[in-house]
Amino acid sequence: MSSHNRKLTIVGAGAVGTSAAHWAVARKVASEIVLVDVVEGIPQGKALDISQSAPLCGYHGSVIGSCSYEDTANSDVVIITAGLARKPGMSREDLLAKNVQIVKEVTENIVKHSPDAVIVVVTNPIDAMVYTVFKVSGFPKNRVVGMAGVLDSARYRTFLAQALGVAPKDVTALVMGIHGDNMLPLTRLASVGGVPVEDLLSKEELERIVKRTQTGGGEIVQHLKTGSAFTTPGLCAIEMAQSVLFDEKRVLPCAAYLEGEFGISGVFLGVPVVLGSKGVERIVEFPLTDEEKEALQKSVEAVKRQVAATGL
C-alpha cells in the first residue's frame, strides 16, 4: 500500500519528535509529514534537514516544519511528543503537572484542526498523559493510544536476544502494565523462534533481564546525563503510526483505555492491541496467572495515582 495522501503530524521537535520525523521519512509512512513546535525556527530547521534526506532514502512526500497548527489540518495520525523530558534524579511524577498543561493545550489544537485523527501519545508520564488527551479531546477511546509497550518490549527483546545470542527480530515478548518500575515483562509468554525463553534461560538470568527492562529508560538517562532515550522511542511511535496509516492490524503492546478487559476499568494501561485504521480496533485479552494479575493490579494503582494528580 502506498503512503498516497496520508498526513502525519508530529508535535514537539525535541529529540523524540525529530527522531520520529526522521523514521517517518525513512519508512515512507505518509506523503505529508508536519513537525510542529512552539519555538520559532526549530521545527523549520529540523524539517529542512530531514527533507534533504529524501533523495537518499527514496522519499517522495513533503516534510514541513511549523509553529502553527493550521499546517497540521486534516492529519490522519498525530504523534504528541511535546513536553519536558526527564533529567537525572527527576521522577516521572515530577514531570506530571508541567506536562499536563502542555499536553492539554496541544490536544485542543489537534481537535480543532484534525477532528478525525488517531492520536499517539508519547509524552511522559505516559499513562497519565494519554488519559489527559482522552479527557480533553473527547475522542472515542479507540482514537487515543499511548506509546510505551512497543518501546519496553523492544528493550526486553534486545536484552533477551543478547543473552541468547540470537537475532532480535526472532524474539517475541510482551510487556504489560504501566510504563515505569511496575511494568510487567511477561517471561511466561516470551519466546524465540517459537521456543519459550523459560526453557532456554535460568530463572536468575530472566529476573535480571526483567529488572533491566523495567529500568531501561533510567539506565540511558544515567549515561546521557542531559537527556533521555530518543532514537528507539521515535521509531516505536512510527511503528504504531504506520500500523494505523496502512491499516496493518499489527498486534502491539500499547496504552489503551480499558473497560473491563483483564478485569480492569477506567484507566489507560499497556496491553496487547490490534492497531488499524480506526486506531485501537480491539484489545487482545487472554487469561493471566494469579501472580501476573497481582503485578498488573500494582500498575493500575500507580496509574490511578498519576491520573488523580492530573486533576482531570
Within-domain flag for 80: yes
pLDDT for residue 264: 96
Dist CA 13 CA 83 (whole Å)? 10
Q: pLDDT digit string (tens) for 243-284? A: 999 999 999 999 999 999 999 999 999 999 999 999 999 999
Within-domain flag for 30: yes
Residue 293, class by beta-carbon neighbours within 10 Å (0-12 exposed, 13-18 middle, 19+ buried)? middle
Among 138, 140, 127, 73, residue whose Cα is nearest residue 96: 127
Dist CA 79 CA 110 (whole Å)? 10
- Residue 135: pLDDT above 60? yes
Domain stop point among 97, 119, 146: 146
Strands (E), the chain: 7-11, 32-36, 62-66, 77-80, 118-121, 144-146, 171-176, 184-192, 195-196, 250-259, 265-276, 279-283
To the nearest whole number, what is the mean pLDDT of the chain?
Answer: 95
| Structural domain for 230, as ranges | 149-310
pLDDT for residue 299: 94
Task: Work out the pLDDT band at 285, boundaries 50, 70, 90.
Answer: very high
Please report, for the domain that includes residue 185, its CATH number.
3.90.110.10
Q: Which residues pair with 187 in a beta bridge?
A: none
| 272 preceded by a cis bond (ω within 30 of 0) | no
Dist CA 39 CA 309 (whole Å)? 28
Which among 4, 60, 113, 179 is annotated as catalytic? 179
Sequential DSSP letters for 136-155: HH---GGGEEE-SHHHHHHH
Query: Residue 93, Cβ neighbours under 10 Å: how many?
Result: 15
pLDDT for residue 40: 98
pLDDT for residue 157: 98
Do 297 and 229 lie in one domain? The reply is: yes
Active-site annotation holds for 179? yes
pLDDT for residue 3: 64
- Residue 2: pLDDT above 70? no
Do 200 and 82 lie in one domain? The reply is: no
Do 158 and 213 lie in one domain? The reply is: yes
Domain stop point among 93, 115, 146: 146
Within-domain flag for 185: yes
Task: Please state, for a pLDDT cut of 70, what percent of the chain lies above it.
Answer: 98
pLDDT for residue 227: 87
Strands 171-176 and 144-146: unpaired
Within-domain flag for 2: no
Return all residues near 148 (Cβ < 8 A) that are at least 6 apart: 126, 127, 179, 253, 254, 255, 270
Do 137 and 228 lie in one domain? The reply is: no
Q: pLDDT digit string (tens) for 204-216? A: 999 999 999 999 9
Could you give the number of structural domains in the chain?
2
- Residue 103: pLDDT above 80? yes
| Residues 144, 133 contacting (CB under 8 angstroms) | yes
pLDDT for residue 252: 98
Do 51 and 92 lie in one domain? The reply is: yes
pLDDT for residue 92: 66
Distance of CA 255 to the CA centre of its chain: 8
Q: Give the residue with greater pLDDT, 219 vs 3.
A: 219
Q: pLDDT digit string (tens) for 43-98? A: 999 999 999 999 999 999 999 999 999 999 999 999 999 998 777 777 767 788 88
Mean pLDDT on 98-104: 94
Among 138, 131, 145, residue whose Cα is nearest residue 279: 145
Within-domain flag for 208: yes
Nearest 5°: phi and psi at 184? -120, 90
Task: Please state, for a pLDDT cut of 90, what percent of the chain lies above it.
Answer: 89
Do 47 and 184 lie in one domain? The reply is: no
